[in-house]
Structure 1
Amino acid sequence: MEDPQRERQRMVRRHHLEKKELQARIQAMKNSVPKSDKRRRKQLFLEVARLEAEMEQKHCQELEKFQESFPDNSNLEGVAENLAKMDLENQPPRQSREQKRRERRAALVRERQERVLESEMEHLAGFRRDEEEKLSVILGAKNLEMKNMPADGHCMYRAIQDQLVFSVTVESLRSRTADYMQRHIDDFLPFFSDSETGDAYSRDEFLSYCKDIVRNASWGGQLELRALSHVLQTPIEVIQADSPVVVIGEEYAKKPLVLVYVRYACNLGEHYNSVKPLEASAVGGAA
């Protein structure tokens, strides 16, 4: 009798630890996405809900499996329920009827949110498949295929790093990008404004933005690519599924670096990938 109880206690405590670790991971994800970027914040919300739902399902399955393994332990369920309700000081909280009603209402809200999330994820999956098919055709015509980069906030710089013939770190690319933008502030400042108010950036706000390029895993875009093309003295092509190819740094004669800009492949929103030569088997299959 005691062994199953101890096993259940260990499992419940492990679940508690896993939930704490997930919350820490979620907080790190939230910190990587600016609050002003509403589109990426929405994608972040969907990803967080998915992670929480997956963990909840995993824990429920483990509990059900445990109960099936020990069906004859009549007191075990009570022990498990008490453990699950313990706070950090291992004190069983007392719930009023109103608290229970609030919990039931909250459960209904969560259920509705999960249904909405499931619908939105299915919708997003359709966009994702369509985007992948279009990009495959565009890249295939160039004998290229997409090479995935991690969705860690450094994707654009990693895609550039992946195609350079010399060794360079992401940190160095970020630093050189920020340095160029600060030294050519008049070329870049007019293009920066507050995403919520629309007010133009002041010089101090722009310089703070440049510092964030170096210090944080901030997402890079077309202006950073403009700076990088000058730093590397190399043109950069950006391929998209539903727009013409954007060429940055056309004044340079070197072979261009090719990036793929995707809107739906990453759960956190817009993302850059690199490219690589299309494998011979794929070329043969296409022929």
Structure 2
Amino acid sequence: MADASEAPETLETLQARHRKEQRDLVSRITQKKKQASKKTRKGVNDECERLEQELKERQARELATFNGENPHEEPALEEEQDIAEVEEGQVNGVAMAVENLTIDSGREQKHTTEQNGPKKKKNRAKERLARRAAEHDALVAQAKEEAANMPDLREQERTRMEQHFGKYGVEVKEIRADGHCLYAAVADQMETRGLGLKPRIQVKTQEEAKLPDYKRVRYAAADLIESHPDDFAGFMEEPLDVYLQKIRETGEWGGHMELMALARSYGVNINVLHSDGHVDKIEPGDDVKDEDDKEIWLGYYRHSHGLGEHYNSLRNVS
């Protein structure tokens, strides 16, 4: 139940909210279309059209409710009411004309009334629909204009990342944004740097050779955590077995804890470059660290992919 002390929404605040919703939708649609591939473009376009239509219909209903109208009333019913009013006006007009007839001018006046009839009333239902459509179009135009003037965070982040690549002698290898990006990026680093994917602690599965590379990395992280539960339990918000099942068998995102486990499992230093130039250094620990200081590089992105946080592989410049 809404707070009784909360002020009701005014027309100005309603329109402001609608404009913000339009800006947000335009921004979402822009990002979706930028990220669409040839295979997914049609589906993305269909989804964008659906989102636009749903927002348009909802905002029209809210505006109708604010104006004291019934948002669920069918326009056809309103038109029938208008037609009935017109017909009633026609009857009343004829009656008035009859009352004004005189003996001398009766025929002429009756003929005039039948020819001209009462003035047809405007279709108020169509006018309301046209007004709503115009208001919606104005909101969309304003939202698009404001979205066009918003900073492109994705492009800014990519530009800043590229400015740091030369310092570390790396270049980006784009990893698919599908929930497995951290593991796929680590797999790409281990293979391209000639380190291999065999962990210090062997994975549990009996079909290791048949697993895709990112899956082998998932198992390596899960097995290390499972064998050292006391080192990781404090970071978990759910039972250990549930967490491990998500790592091994789902597309659950990986984060800092999984990177810690992988650094120890593979005995490598993991460097994570951020767009501000900061580098997170995750070390395996002295008990498993190799003398040759093996290392891999990942790039961490917050704005460049629709799913949210993302990791790319940063390969050595050949």
Aligned pair count reads 191
Distance 1:121 1:128, change over 3 A: farther
**Residue 207 (structure 1) aligned with residue 241 (structure 2):** yes
The answer to whether 1:247 aligns with 2:281 is yes
Partner residue in 2 for 1:171: 215
Shift of 1:212: 0.7
Shift of 1:120: 5.2
Higher relative contact order (CA 8 A, sep 6+): 1
The residue aligned with 2:160 is: 134
Q: Counterpart of 1:97?
A: 75
Shift of 1:172: 1.4
1:239 deviation in Å?
0.5
Give how far 1:123 is off: 3.5
Partner in structure 2 of residue 271 of structure 1: 310
Superposed CA offset, 1:207-263 (max 9, x none) = 212211111111111100000111111110101012521111153243211000011
Q: What is the CA–CA distance in structure 2 between the aligned matches of 1:210 and 1:260, rounded to whole Å?
A: 25
Structure index of larger Rg? 2
Residue pairs, 1:1-287, within 5 angstroms: 46=28, 50=32, 54-55=45-46, 96-97=74-75, 112=139, 116=143, 119=146, 123=150, 125=152, 127-164=153-190, 165=194, 166=196, 169-192=213-236, 201-202=237-238, 204=239, 206-242=240-276, 244-249=278-283, 251=285, 252-253=289-290, 254-278=293-317
Native 8 Å contact 2:172 2:312 kept in 1? yes
Residue equivalent to 2:120: none
Task: Check 1:130–1:57 CA distance in 2 against 1; reply closer, same or farther (3 A cut).
Answer: closer
> What whole-Å deviation, never above 9, does each CA across 1:170-197 have from its counterpart, x for those lacking one?
11111121122122221112123xxxxx
Report if aligned partners of 2:267, 2:284 keep a CA contact under 8 Å in 1.
no
CA distance in 1, matches of 2:129, 2:243: 43
Shift in Å, 1:137: 1.8
Residue 54 of structure 1 aligns with an amino acid whose one-letter code is N
Query: What whole-Å deviation, never above 9, does each CA across 1:33-90 have from its counterpart, x for those lacking one?
Result: xxxxxxxxx99x926984677337899xxxxxxxxxxxxxxxxxxxxxxxxxxxxxxx
Query: Counterpart of 2:233 in structure 1: which amino acid?
Result: L
Decide whether aligned partners of structure 1 residues 49 and 260 sit closer, same or farther in structure 2, where only a CA change above 3 A counts.
closer
Which position in structure 1 is the counterpart of 2:204? Answer: none
Q: Which AA in structure 1 matches 2:315?
A: K
Q: CA–CA distance in 2 between the matches of 1:228 and 1:103?
A: 60
Structure 1 gaps of 5+ residues are 1-41, 60-94, 193-200, 280-287
- TM value normalised by structure 1: 0.55
State the secondary structure of the residue aligned to 2:300: strand
Alpha-carbon distance in structure 1 between the residues aligned to 2:175 and 2:250: 18
Percentage of matched positions with identical amino acids: 28
Q: What is the CA–CA distance in structure 2 between the aligned matches of 1:212 and 1:141, rounded to whole Å?
A: 37
Q: TM-score, normalised by structure 2?
A: 0.50
Offset at 1:134?
Answer: 1.8
Give how far 1:277 is off: 2.9
User: For residues 98 and 243 of structure 1, what CA distance do their matches in structure 2 show?
Assistant: 62
Distance verdict in 2 for CA 1:118–1:245, change over 3 Å? farther
CA distance in structure 2 between the partners assigned to 1:218 and 1:227 by the alignment:
16
Q: Which runs of 5+ in 2 are unaligned?
A: 1-23, 34-42, 51-72, 79-124, 198-211
State the partner residue of 1:32: none
